[in-house]
Amino acid sequence: MNLAYHNLKNGMRFVHYRTDGMVAHCGLIIKTGSRDEEDHEHGMAHFIEHMLFKGTKKRKPYHILSRLDDVGGELNAYTTKEETAIHASVLKENYERAVDLICDIAFNSVLPEKEIKKEKEVITEEINSYLDNPAELIFDEFEEMVFPNQPLGHNILGTTDNIKRFTRDDLQYFISGNYNTDEMVFCSVGNISDKKAIYVFEKYFSSIGSKPVVRHNTKNTIYKQTIVTKQKNTYQNHCIIGNTAYSIKHKKQTGMFLLNNILGGPGLNSRLNLSLREKNGLAYNVESGYSAYSDTGLFLIYFGTENNNFQKSTDIIMEELKKMRNKSLGIIQLSKAKSQIKGAIARAYENHENLMLSIGKSLLVLNRIDTLGESCRKIDNLNSSDLLEIANEIFSLPELSFLTYK
């Protein structure tokens, strides 16, 4: 994987991977997310992400939305707990058009008052749609339960009360204190020469004023097992079982990634899918997930089932976790698990939009980018004892928290 790197005097970094094909992908990833909010700012990062599309010094909202649509491209953005990203996919001949637009909305947004008022209504409806969907709401409430009284536990959308209070001055204050050039990476993937990609990056971003990082005070994560049941009067029972896990820089992160895939990853042959759905027909949706943050992580299992099947489903899941704590994977089992996850990673590399965002985040957070070969070697180096040790640390029954909607 031959990557082109470039750094600007203002602290911004750049990475480009040249590929074949007609479509190019590029994006700006900023190390600011909902975790950087104070309590009274809850929802601010996501609100600002929406407002970036609402007008700049030289473009009205319509011109922003149609700039890439007019040439068959796509402009998008997202906010997570720790990052904000603005990204685009276009035909390679429109690559510079996309870079120009991303730079404009990231650094020249004017945050019009009338658009702020309008967007408050839009995001309020987005929040309400989550409140109406227990299968989605339970994930946010579980994180709030595991990380209480700290920004990491807050849902990304915020609260309707906070959204209503936001002013233009509030948005500008948050931007000035959190969007720093030395915590930004511009990434791209496409059939663009390294020389041209660097030239275009410099053309649009080198004039951006340098802005040093402002470190944020974050509370140390103190985890305590919690068990909560809420009456929601839903047709199905919804449940999440989980624990804190390893950070993105932890040496056991790769092992946790593999173990989670074996237990309840997207594969139809995951242990939870086979035991709960295929063998017993108790749940339509059962999955496990692992999110790695800068200083901690979160492991969880989600399932939904009828009330009459809830206890049986929980017992089966507990039995699967017990097996993983007590019994090492055999040589053939481990080999199959490694092959499956390496195949999934390889397929992700072939999705150039995902690859663009992945290399950008890796450079931003880890200051390095692993090749496909390096990622596979890390997986190959894992053994059954490594996974057994992780299972006993993360799947320990006294450490597992439960949130149930009945």
- The answer on 286 and 194 residing in a single domain is no
Phi/psi for 19 (5° steps) reads -130, 175
pLDDT for the residue numbered 80: 97
- The answer on 165 and 308 residing in a single domain is no
Six token digits for residue 109: 């947004």
Q: Is residue 362 part of a domain?
A: yes
Residue type, 193: S
- The answer on 191 and 256 residing in a single domain is no
Domain boundary among 147, 171, 205: 205
pTM value is 0.93
219 pLDDT tier (thresholds 50, 70, 90): low
For the chain, what is the mean pLDDT?
95
Residue linked to tokens 């658009």: 115
Q: What digits encode the pLDDT tens for the residues 269-316? A: 999 999 999 999 999 899 999 999 999 999 999 999 999 999 999 999
Domain with 14, as residue range(s), is 3-205
- The answer on 122 and 29 residing in a single domain is yes
pLDDT higher than 70, residue 213: no
Q: Is residue 222 part of a domain?
A: no
Q: Strand 227-230 and strand 401-405: pairing?
A: parallel
The single residue of 49, 82, 119, 183 carrying the catalytic annotation is 49
Q: What digits encode the pLDDT tens for the residues 154-181? A: 999 999 999 999 999 999 999 999 999 9
Residue linked to tokens 């700290």: 150
Q: What is the CATH number of the domain that holds 338?
A: 3.30.830.10
Domain count, the chain: 2
What residues are paired with 286 via a beta bridge? 303
Q: Is residue 400 part of a domain?
A: yes
pLDDT for the residue numbered 235: 86
pLDDT higher than 70, residue 214: no
Q: What digits encode the pLDDT tens for the residues 10-21? A: 999 999 999 999
Q: Tell me which residue of 62, 159, 61 sits closest to 112, measured CA to CA.
A: 61
pLDDT for the residue numbered 393: 97
- The answer on 241 and 124 residing in a single domain is no
pLDDT for the residue numbered 279: 95
Q: Is residue 30 part of a domain?
A: yes
pLDDT higher than 70, residue 240: yes
- The answer on 131 and 28 residing in a single domain is yes
Q: What digits encode the pLDDT tens for the residues 29-46? A: 999 999 999 999 999 999
Q: Is residue 213 part of a domain?
A: no
Q: Is residue 232 part of a domain?
A: yes
Q: What digits encode the pLDDT tens for the residues 195-212? A: 999 999 999 999 999 877
Average pLDDT in the 97-122 region? 97
Phi/psi for 290 (5° steps) reads -135, 120
Catalytic residue at 49?
A: yes
- The answer on 140 and 261 residing in a single domain is no
- The answer on 264 and 368 residing in a single domain is yes
Q: What digits encode the pLDDT tens for the residues 317-370? A: 999 999 999 999 999 999 999 999 999 999 999 999 999 999 999 999 999 999
- The answer on 83 and 167 residing in a single domain is yes
pLDDT higher than 60, residue 182: yes
Domain boundary among 174, 205, 236: 205
Q: Is residue 216 part of a domain?
A: no
The pLDDT > 70 percentage for the chain reads: 98
Q: Are 90 and 23 within 8 A, CB to CB?
A: yes
Six token digits for residue 47: 């609100």
pLDDT higher than 70, residue 239: yes
- The answer on 257 and 293 residing in a single domain is yes
Q: Is residue 210 part of a domain?
A: no
- The answer on 240 and 191 residing in a single domain is no
- The answer on 351 and 269 residing in a single domain is yes
pLDDT for the residue numbered 267: 87
Average pLDDT in the 222-231 region? 94
pLDDT higher than 90, residue 142: yes
